[in-house]
Chains A and B, each alone.
Chain A
Amino acid sequence: AQSVSQHNHHVILSEAASLELGCNYSYGGTVNLFWYVQYPGQHLQLLLKYFSGDPLVKGIKGFEAEFIKSKFSFNLRKPSVQWSDTAEYFCAVNMDSNYQLIWGAGTKLIIKP
């Protein structure tokens, strides 16, 4: 069965540190890739997405992600995190444009001021 793996369930960083959250999926066909974020007390919201074209996509708040097809990966990065980036981050994959999203388990990111 198709699956999405997020490597770290909890990440703790200090402000200004660089961030990379891993996401891998198991599917060899066409994919649409998403990162969603849930800030404390807020709705899940889209951070960024990849459908086609440039594999390096930029999202809100300085986040970016790189799609590496050969590695089945879509890792999220930010060069310098802020305390306000404390949130839970979810990777999600839509496979062959069907009607379902497969979600990773999420990574809880805590930024120490």
Chain B
Amino acid sequence: NAGVTQTPKFQVLKTGQSMTLQCAQDMNHEYMSWYRQDPGMGLRLIHYSVGAGITDQGEVPNGYNVSRSTTEDFPLRLLSAAPSQTSVYFCASSHPTSGAGETQYFGPGTRLLVL
């Protein structure tokens, strides 16, 4: 199993540009989530999904969109990039037998710089 994969690993954007961060998992996990990690702030939840066709907002959803058309894929879209979105983005997945209270499996992260 590849586990959770993310692409790209690094990206530089100009303010106002849009892009999609890709996330895929091959463990048949129903729960998938996107976090951003900023220095001194730990991980903050952006959006999550409990299954195909079902998504919901996390703590910091503004400026991001998600969709979940398949169990495997959970892309994160930046609609109009801003410097405040410079961060490291992590995708994670788990079996949601008790909400987010299961072990989460993380991807390697995407480092995004917005100029």
- Between A9, A51, A106, the greatest number of chain B beta carbons within 10 A of the residue's beta carbon is seen for A106
**Docked-complex contact B43 and A90, CB < 8 angstroms:** yes
- Closest-by-CB residue of A relative to B107 is A43
Number of A-B residue pairs having CB atoms within 8 Å of each other in the complex: 59
Q: Residue A51 contacts which of B41, B101, B108, B109 (CB distance < 8 angstroms)?
A: B101
In B71-115, the 8 Å CB interface with A consists of 90, 92, 96, 98-101, 103-104, 106-109
**Docked-complex contact B106 and A44, CB < 8 angstroms:** yes
Question: A104 to B50, alpha carbons, bound, how many Å?
Answer: 23
Q: Residue A99 contacts which of B42, B44, B48, B109 (CB distance < 8 angstroms)?
A: B48
**Docked-complex contact A105 and B41, CB < 8 angstroms:** yes
Kindly state whether residue A94 has any CB partner on chain B within 8 Å. Answer: yes
Task: For B99, list chain A residues within 8 Å (CB).
Answer: 94, 97-100
B interface size (C-beta, 8 A): 28
Residues of B whose CB lies within 8 Å of any CB of A are 3-4, 31, 35, 40-45, 48, 50, 56, 58-59, 90, 92, 96, 98-101, 103-104, 106-109
Kindly state whether residue A103 has any CB partner on chain B within 8 Å. Answer: yes
Chain A interface helix/strand/loop/mixed: strand
Q: Residue B106 contacts which of A9, A43, A51, A100 (CB distance < 8 angstroms)?
A: A43
In angstroms, how far is the closest chain A Cβ from the Cβ of B91?
A: 10
**Docked-complex contact A94 and B41, CB < 8 angstroms:** no
**Docked-complex contact A100 and B98, CB < 8 angstroms:** no
